[in-house]
Amino acid sequence: MRRPPPRTTRRGKSRGRRKPALRLVLVLLAAVTATSVLVATPASAVESYRVAGLPLGEGLSIREAPDAEAPSLGQLPVGARLRGFGCTSDTPSGLTWCRVKGGRLLGWARRRYLSPD
């Protein structure tokens, strides 16, 4: 039994040939995206810090956003341990802020007051 010829579009091109090429492009795009995500966020990206460099009796403000004007979520005392999830200088002030978690607080802290643990 003979197979019917593939259907064609208005321009005369076969529809059957496009799908494998489209699938290949999508698979390659997914692979490149997955690789770039893995490279950008290695397992060692989580860092350990301690709050340091503040005057005695003051705490480190953990903020909602990487900006001194952002609302404070709470404060952590000098010596408190934090986990860091990356830092950025791409902020309105140009200062370096790090995404951190300390206790139940998850927010942003100035890099200046974080000491590697």
Q: What confidence tens digit (pLDDT) does each residue in 98-110 have?
A: 999 999 999 999 9
* Predicted local confidence at residue 89, as pLDDT: 94
Out of 2-11, 24-33, 62-71, give the one with best mean pLDDT: 62-71
In sign, the C-alpha dihedral spanning 92, 96, 97, 98 is: positive
The domains of the chain are located at 14-42, 46-116
| CATH, domain range 46-116 | 2.30.30.40
In the prediction, which pLDDT does 34 show? 47
Q: Does 113 score more than 80 pLDDT?
A: yes
Q: Give the pLDDT confidence of 23-60 residue by residue, as tens digits.
A: 766 666 665 554 434 344 444 568 999 999 999 889 99
Q: Which of the two residues, 3 and 100, has the higher pLDDT score?
A: 100
pTM of the predicted model as reported, rounded to 2 decimal places: 0.61
d(CA 2, CA 30): 37
